[in-house]
Chains A and B, each alone.
Chain A
Amino acid sequence: MNELPQQLANGLILGAMYGLIAIGYTMVYGIVQLINFAHGEIFMVGGFGALSVYLALPTGTSLILALPIMLIGGIAVSVLVGVAAERFAYRPLRGAPRLAPLITAIGLSIALQQAIWKWYPGGNKARVFPQFKGHSFDILGATVQRGDLFVLIAAPACMIALGFFVSKTRSGRAMQATAQDRDTAKLMGINTDRIIVLAFAIGAAFAGVAAVAYGLRTGEVQFRMGFIMGLKAFTAAVLGGIGNIYGAMLGGVVLGVAESLATAYIEEIPGMQQFGGGAWKDVWAFVLLILVLLLRPQGLLGERVADRA
C-alpha cells in the first residue's frame, strides 16, 4: 500500500501546529533569553477561549461563520494570559537568577492547567470541539480532513505576516534590535519593555491559532493538551535554531514529518518491529531532539553565537 503521501500530509499538518506554537518559544527566547515553559498552557487556554465563543453563539450557527469569531476569541484569551504572565510573573524577575523565572514558568503552567480543570465548566474532562461536517479532500494522494485545511492555510499566512512585520515595520526593526542588544536598543530610544510585551503577545496569538487548529483536528480540547504539544513545539524551536522565527516553523514541520514517518515505517526495519506504531511517536520526536543537540546544537537555521567584535 502506498501510504507515503498520507504520512507526509499528516506530518505536515501536525508540524504546522508545532511550528505555530514554536514561534512563541523562539520569539520570547530571542528577546529575553527565557524559555517560557508556560507557553503550552497559553496554547491550551486559547482552545478553551475559542470553544467558549462557539458555545456563546446561537445553536446551529454554521462552523464556517463561527470560525473567524472563534479564532478571535482564542487569540484574545491566549494573548491576555501571555501578556499577563509577562507582566506579573516574568517582569518582576528580570535580572533574577535564571532558575527563578524557569521555576515560575513551571508553576504558572500547573496553575493554568488546574484553573481550567477546576473552574471551566466540564473542564475536568475533555470538552468536545466543533467539527466541520462533510467529506474530506483528496490532495496528491493524501486524504485531508476539512478541519485540517485550516492549519494548512493559517500557518503559511501567519508566517508571511510575521516575516513582513519583523523585516519591514518600525516595531519589527525595533524587535530585531532588542533581540540583538537590549541595552543598546534602549539607547536608540526603543521602549524595550513594550517590545518584550509585543513578543509575548505575538507568540501567544500564534498559539491561539494553533489551539483552534488542534481543536478542529482532534475534536476536543482538554486542560492537559498544552503539556505534550508545548514540549514538542519547544523541541521544534530548538530543532530549527532557537531565536530564529523561520527556524521554528521549519523545525515544526521537520519534527511533524519525522514523527509521522517514524510511526509508520520504523516497524519495517528488521529488528525494530516492536518500536513501530503511535505509542512510540513521542520517543522518536525526542530522539530527534537529542540527535540535534549532539550534532548541531545551534539548530537547523541557528547561527553560532560569535557576532560581537
Chain B
Amino acid sequence: MTALLEVEDLRVAYGKIEAVKGISFTVEAGQVVTLIGTNGAGKTTTLRTLSGLLKPLAGKITFDGQPLNGVPAHKIVERGLAHSPEGRRLFPRLTIAENLQLGAFLRKDTAGIEEDIQRIYDLFPILGERRKQASGTLSGGEQQMLAMGRALMSRPKLLMLDEPSMGLSPIMMQKIMETIEELRTQGMTILLVEQNAQAALSLADQGHVMEIGKVVLSDSGETLLHDESVRKAYLGED
C-alpha cells in the first residue's frame, strides 16, 4: 500500500541557510508519526513546507497520490492536509466560534460545519462555554485546544500539529496528549512535531529524530523511547 504522505529528499533553505538538508519519511494512513529534535533541527520548517507556506529547494512531496510541489498553501488545505501551526496562531480579535468557522472556510455544508463545531465543543467543553469570546483572551491551553479544533474543522486526511504542548502546564499538556490519543483511536492520521520527546514517542507509531536539518534516527515510537542515545539527548537522562 502506498503511504498517505511521502517526503523524499526534501531540502528547504532560508536565503543561503539550509534549514532542512534532505530528509525522507512517510506517513501511512491511520498512523501517528512524530518528528522530534531540539530547537533549530528543522521540524517546524518541514511542516511549513508541507503546508505550502515555504517553497522547497528540492525534493518531492506526495500527498494522497498527488504531488504537492508548487501547490499554493490555500490549495493544500483543500487536498486534506491541515496544519495547526507553532504558537497556535489564532485570529486573536475573532471569537472562538469565528475561528472554528474559518477552519471550515472551504467547506460549503453549513449543517455539517455546525455539527463539527458542536463536536469540538464536546471535545473541549470550555470552548463551547466561551464561544463568543475573542480568542486572544484565552489561556495558552485553551488557545491550543482551539488551534487543534480549528485545524480539525477542515475534515483533514492528515493533521499536522506543531508543538501542541509548548508553554502549557503539565495538566494541560496531558489533556492535549489525551486528545491526540483520542483522535488516533478515531482513525485520524497525525504528523506530530514535539520538543517533549517523551510524550510524543509514547503516542507515536513511528518516530524520526531530527538534528540540524537531517533525520538521524528513525524507528517505531516504542523503540526510540527506549533507545539509549535518544534517552540521553532528548529525555534528559545520563
Contacts and interface: CB of A to CB of B under 8 A. Distances in A.
Contacts of A170: 105
A307 B92 contact: yes
Nearest to B89: A184
**Residue from A173, A183, A189 having most chain B Cβ neighbours under 10 A:** A189
Contacts of B154: 188-189
Interface stretch (A52-60, A138-146, A174-182, A287-295): A174-182
B91 A183 contact: no
Contacts of B102: 173-174, 177, 185, 188, 190
B103 interface: yes
B101 A173 contact: yes
A107 to B, nearest CB: 27
Contact of B53 (A177, A183, A190): A183
Interface residues of B, number: 33
B90 to A, nearest CB: 8
Interface string A280-309: 000000000000000000000001000111
B136 interface: yes
A233 to B, nearest CB: 24
B74 A191 contact: yes
A187 B51 contact: yes
B93 A176 contact: yes
Contact of A189 (B74, B101, B136): B74
A192 interface: yes
A186 B52 contact: yes
B177 interface: no
Contacts of A186: 52-53, 72-74
Contact of B74 (A173, A190, A309): A190
Contacts of A192: 74
Q: Is the interface of A mostly helix, strand, loop or mixed?
A: helix
Interface in B59-111: 72-75, 77-78, 82-83, 85, 87-94, 98, 101-103, 105-106
B140 interface: yes
Contacts, number: 78
Sorting the interface of chain A by its residue count into under 10, 10 to 19, 20 to 34 or 35 or more gives 20 to 34
A190 B74 CA distance: 6
Interface in A20-72: none
B105 A174 contact: yes
Interface in B118-142: 136, 138, 140
Contact of B91 (A180, A189, A303, A309): A180
A189 B105 contact: yes
Contact of B89 (A173, A174, A183, A190): A183
Contacts of B101: 173
Contacts of A309: 87-88, 92, 136, 138, 140, 143
A187 B47 CA distance: 12
**Residue from B53, B92, B98, B102 having most chain A Cβ neighbours under 10 A:** B102
Contacts of A189: 74-75, 77-78, 105-106, 154
A180 B94 CA distance: 9
Nearest to A180: B91
A181 B91 contact: yes
A188 B89 contact: no
A191 B91 CA distance: 16
B202 to A, nearest CB: 27
A174 B85 CA distance: 18
Given A187-B51, A188-B103, A176 B85 contact: no
B85 A183 contact: yes
A285 B82 CA distance: 49
The 5 closest A-B pairs by CB, nearest first: A186-B73, A307-B92, A189-B106, A189-B77, A307-B136
7 contacts: A173-B94, A183-B53, A185-B91, A185-B102, A187-B151, A188-B106, A303-B93
Interface of A: 170, 173-174, 176-177, 180-181, 183-192, 303, 307-309
Given A183-B89, A184-B90, 15 more contacts: A173-B94, A180-B92, A180-B94, A181-B89, A181-B90, A185-B91, A186-B52, A186-B73, A187-B53, A187-B83, A188-B77, A190-B102, A303-B93, A308-B136, A309-B138
